[in-house]
Amino acid sequence: MPVLTVRISEKEKALLAERSKSEGITAAALVRQMINEKPFITAGDLLEEVDRRMGDKRLRVRRKR
């Protein structure tokens, strides 16, 4: 199996560790997931992804000015 080496900063490494821990998988598995994700073809694809990740809009808290 080929090996992919990527240089990331300590801050990026900490973010990767935090995200992988919250998803309950290893950092390497998370990186594999990111690499294998379907790319965005159109703006509609991107908007669908954003809607899926944002959750229920009724629960959103509005910013106070």
pTM to 2 decimals? 0.55
Q: What is the mean pLDDT of residues 54-61?
A: 64
Name the residue among 34, 38, 31 with its Cα closest to residue 3: 31
| 12-50 pLDDT per residue, tens | 999 999 989 988 999 999 888 888 887 878 888 888 877
In angstroms and rounded to an integer, the radius of gyration of the C-alpha atoms of the chain is 16
Q: Domain residues of the chain, as ranges? A: 10-59
Count, residues in the chain: 65
Distance, in Å, from the CA atom of 53 to the CA atom of 3, rounded to the nearest integer, reads: 30
Higher pLDDT, 3 or 18: 18
pLDDT at 52: 75
